[in-house]
């Protein structure tokens, strides 16, 4: 598991400016990534096939400043990337976690040369990966103020209930439920033990936690489970100043929702194009939730494309 500080383009998303995260301009070159020293003590615990973890001078800077620290899972694309860029734009130190090192490095590059970021390749469904992730965060940042529990998968699309393979069901549950629990548990432990005590967990739910789409039994079930996880964490975290909230998102423009722009199955059996919104609009809401004092909590928030078929009967 390798953590890298990546120097790249000017930060494309500053909190509150309404801009979408953007890729570097065509032909523009970025300064190469630079590994930071010293070698993190948890390098020997890295997951199989992943190189050692490195963190660096910014860890002491983060510890000795007012900068808050966050973990964002699924940070290599979509909503995770947008939220990571919003947080770094607001001055947070961020651990970018995800399965693929390449997209994580791209997110770090988009955050800009001045951002305090580390990249941590990890599969949230693997307990050893999650343990290594949060051990690295503790060593490199010293504390944790926020977990954005975002990693998720829809599973195979357009598969009727009777045809869904058990293996596909388990794959969705492993990431969306077990992975979310493992990350929340590790964050909870760290927030409970650190001084000053406390922190915040924001779970990425979905409007599927309220209303399903056709042929989405695995995804919809896991998002209902996420709501239960949010409520339990919110209750159990009270004595330790650990707040937990959930953001339910509808039709953010990501790779996961690409089909909505060409036509997606509706409850009446028809195909219809649905409106989408920018992932940056979601990120601003997450940033607002994250920066509330721990004495206040946004328990549930819903952000959706204004005219999508959700409220009412289609």
Catalytic site positions: 219
Residue 66 is classified by DSSP as S
Q: Which phi and psi (to 5°) does residue 107 adopt?
A: -60, -45
Residue from 46, 90, 96 nearest 70 by CA: 96
Q: Residue 202's CB: how many other CB atoms inside 10 A?
A: 26
The pair of structure tokens assigned to 117 is 């970021």
Q: How far apart are CA 129 and CA 97, in angstroms?
A: 10
The pair of structure tokens assigned to 56 is 């660096």
Q: Please name the residues in contact with 263: beta carbons below 8 A apart, sequence gap of 6 or more.
A: 271, 272, 273
Q: Please name the residues in contact with 191: beta carbons below 8 A apart, sequence gap of 6 or more.
A: 144, 197, 198, 199, 237, 240, 241, 242
């Amino acid at each position: 598991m390798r953590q890298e500080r990546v120097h790249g383009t000017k930060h494309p998303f500053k909190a509150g400016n309404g801009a979408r995260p953007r890729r570097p301009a065509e032909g523009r070159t970025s300064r190469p990534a630079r590994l930071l020293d010293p070698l993190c003590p948890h390098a020997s615990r890295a997951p199989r096939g992943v190189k050692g973890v490195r963190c660096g001078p910014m860890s002491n800077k983060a510890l000795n400043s007012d900068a808050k620290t966050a973990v964002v899972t699924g940070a290599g694309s979509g909503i995770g990337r947008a939220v990571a860029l919003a947080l770094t734009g607001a001055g947070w130190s961020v651990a970018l976690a995800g399965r693929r090192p390449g997209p994580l490095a791209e997110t770090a590059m988009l955050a800009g040369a001045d951002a305090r970021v580390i990249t941590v390749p990890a599969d949230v469904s693997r307990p050893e990966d999650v343990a290594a992730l949060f051990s690295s965060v503790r060593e490199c940042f010293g504390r944790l103020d926020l977990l954005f529990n975002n990693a998720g998968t829809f599973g195979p699309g357009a598969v009727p209930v009777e045809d869904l393979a058990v293996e596909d069901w388990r794959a969705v549950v492993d990431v969306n439920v077990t992975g979310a629990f493992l990350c929340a548990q590790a964050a909870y432990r760290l927030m409970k033990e650190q001084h000053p005590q406390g922190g915040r967990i924001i779970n990425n739910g979905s409007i599927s936690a309220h209303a399903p789409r056709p042929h989405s039994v695995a995804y919809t079930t896991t998002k209902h489970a996420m709501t239960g996880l949010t409520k339990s964490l919110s209750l159990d975290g009270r004595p330790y100043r650990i707040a937990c909230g959930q953001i339910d998102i509808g039709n953010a423009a990501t790779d996961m929702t690409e089909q909505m722009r060409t036509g997606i199955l509706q409850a009446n059996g028809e195909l219809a194009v649905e409106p989408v919104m920018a992932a940056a609009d979601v990120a601003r809401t997450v940033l607002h939730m994250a920066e509330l004092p721990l004495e206040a909590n946004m328990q549930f928030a819903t952000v959706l494309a204004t005219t999508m078929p959700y409220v009412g009967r289609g």
